[in-house]
Structure 1
Amino acid sequence: MKIQILFLLLLISVMGCKNKEEVAYVPLNYESDPCIDCATVAIAIFEFNKETDLGIAVNTALRKEIVRQLNFEGNAENASIEEAIAAFKKEFQDLRDMYPEESIDWEAIIKSEITYENKDVLTIQLDTYIFTGGAHGHSTLRFLNFNKKKNELFENWELFKEIDDFEHFAETKFKIQEDIPQNSEINSTGFMFEGERFYLPNNLGFTKKGVQLIYNQYEIASYADGPIFMTLPYTEIESFLSVKILPKSL
């Protein structure tokens, strides 16, 4: 019995230490009622502790990003998710009233995932699919990297000691991954980097396996090629990072 109690206390202690690094949150879902000839919306994100500065910052950033993804045309800075959903559905209804025979039901699906967290960093990935007619919908993946010490979003350049050095390293790895000769131009095999030079994507974030770079559809390749992913292991890029990512926190 004593051994069992000791084990239980040790387990609680370990879990408590782990929880100290994690931000408290609950699932937050928005889902429109099933309907015919309408726009449907399904959003699954998180609501973080509203009693902390970090929780407020994360909730605000998530709200703004979702409002932006729904193409809200009003005051996106202060609009609520509910207002953006209502505007999305109204825009479809207005279109359907004008062209009842031509409009196809719209759809918006947004899912979220915490891809990495330690005492300094919290990374959330948003996976968005929006269909508003046409041959196909539009999918995007978006990383939000939060500085837990300053209670704010990281700018990409803040994640690295010298972002130009990291970019050069990433180009070498990208060419290896995509079978592009190192002495060839970046677009020599069919990519569409603007200016004929390699550059980092807007979307890069921390995952358990490393820093992941995501080029969404159309950014550097055709729609048919889909998004382009590259994950750089922490063991290879530790010297470039300005934030500590410790193996024990993976």
Structure 2
Amino acid sequence: MNIKLAILIVILLAFGCKKKDELSYKPLSFKSEKCADCPKVIVDIFEFNDGNELAKVVNSALKKEVINQLIYDDEIKVSSIEEAISSFKNGYLELKKMYPDETLGWEADIKGSVLYENVDVLSIKLETYIFTGGAHGYSVTRLLNFDKKKNIALENWELFNDPEGFKHFAELKFKIQEDIPQNGTINSTGLMFENDEFYLPNNIGFTKNGLQLIYNQYEVASYADGPMSITLPYAEIRNYLAVEIK
């Protein structure tokens, strides 16, 4: 057999096997209308189009997260991303009406990506930047995890079979990364963990290199320090995980 043809067949087979475990999706974009008094809103996410229960669960979770980032008035019921963009615009117009000479243009930029996927789990990253006046905007990253076999979203505690053991291990590695003395408290070098005790972040997700922990701005440090993250290799944490990662 021709060597080039053999290599091509191997590549195609490998690609086909990989795709078998992955959900199919299409890009989904939303933009605010262009006008002098409209805040700039760009939402670039995706919609899983497999038509199965898992796709419905993931699509619903993504939509909910985007709406939560854009909604201006919690008392208003919003059921779509388009309505959330309108709510964001109305919030800007209300503020501009009250303070016409002080209101700067608002903006929101939301991007979604598949962080990791295998036959068992799916992790999605949603990155948001929002500016609604003041000295600066703020950025936030959300990590969403899903059990592909049970067709459910996973809470952070469901990722571990030994949550306390993992927390202690993560603290050890976090202190090493951030040059915090092992015998010192977690805030001994200027961090702002509540009650001076280490805890896991709200956002934890699977990546190809390991389990990623992300502390968003203000979560454990000042705005100037920015977000903090650490990725723990699977080889070091496999015994703590309730999910099998090969």
User: What TM-score bracket applies, with the shorter chain setting the length?
Assistant: over 0.9
* Residues 173-229 of structure 1, C-alpha deviations (whole Å, 9 max, x = no match): 111111111111111111111111100001111111111111111111110000011
Match of 2:31 in 1: 31
Q: State TM-score, norm by structure 2.
A: 0.93
1:68/1:76 contact within 8 Å kept: no
Contact 1:201 1:215 in 2 (8 A): yes
Could you tell me how far 1:78 is from its partner in structure 2? 6.0
Comparing 10-19 with 36-45, greater Cα deviation is found at 10-19
1:139 is aligned to 139
1:61 matched residue in structure 2:
61
Where does 1:1-250 land on structure 2 (aligned, <5 Å)?
Answer: 9-49=9-49, 51-74=51-74, 79-246=79-246
| CA distance in 1: counterparts of 2:137 and 2:45, whole angstroms | 21
Distance 1:177 1:2 in 2: 50
* CA shift in 2, pair 1:36/1:234, >3 Å: same
In the aligned structure 1, how far is the partner of 2:110 from the partner of 2:6?
Answer: 44
* 1: CA distance, partners of 2:120 / 2:221: 34
The secondary structure found in structure 1 opposite 2:224 is helix
> What amino acid does structure 2 have at the position aligned with 1:175?
K
5+ residue gaps in structure 2?
none
Offset at residue 50 of structure 1 (A): 5.4
Shift of 1:71: 3.0
Aligned residue for 1:225, secondary structure, equals: coil
Distance 1:9 1:194, change over 3 A: same
Distance in 1 between residues matched to 2:42 and 2:87, nearest whole Å? 14
Q: C-alpha separation between the residues in 2 aligned to 1:209 and 1:230?
A: 11
Q: Is the 2:23–2:50 Cα contact (8 Å) retained in structure 1?
A: no
Q: Give how far 1:94 is off.
A: 1.9
- CA distance change for structure 1 residues 119 and 126 in 2, over 3 Å: closer, same or farther? same
CA distance 1:75–1:27, shift in 2 (3 Å): farther
User: d(CA) in 1 for partners of 2:28 and 2:76?
Assistant: 20
Once the 2 structures are TM-superposed, how far is the Cα of residue 5 of structure 1 from its aligned partner?
Answer: 6.1
Rate the CA distance shift 1:75–1:151 in 2: closer, same or farther, 3 A. Answer: farther
Gap regions ≥5 residues in structure 1: none
Distance 1:196 1:23 in 2: 42
Distance 1:54 1:77 in 2: 25
The 8 Å contact of residues 37 and 104 in structure 1, kept in 2 or not, is answered as no
SS across alignment from 1:217: coil
For 2:214, the aligned partner's letter is I
Shift of the alpha carbon at 1:150?
Answer: 1.0
Report the AA paired with residue 189 of structure 1.
T
> 1:11: Cα distance to partner?
4.0
**Structure 1 residue identity aligned to 2:95:** L
Query: 1:128 and 1:49 mapped to 2: Cα distance?
Result: 24
Query: What amino acid is aligned across from residue 198 of structure 1 in structure 2?
Result: F
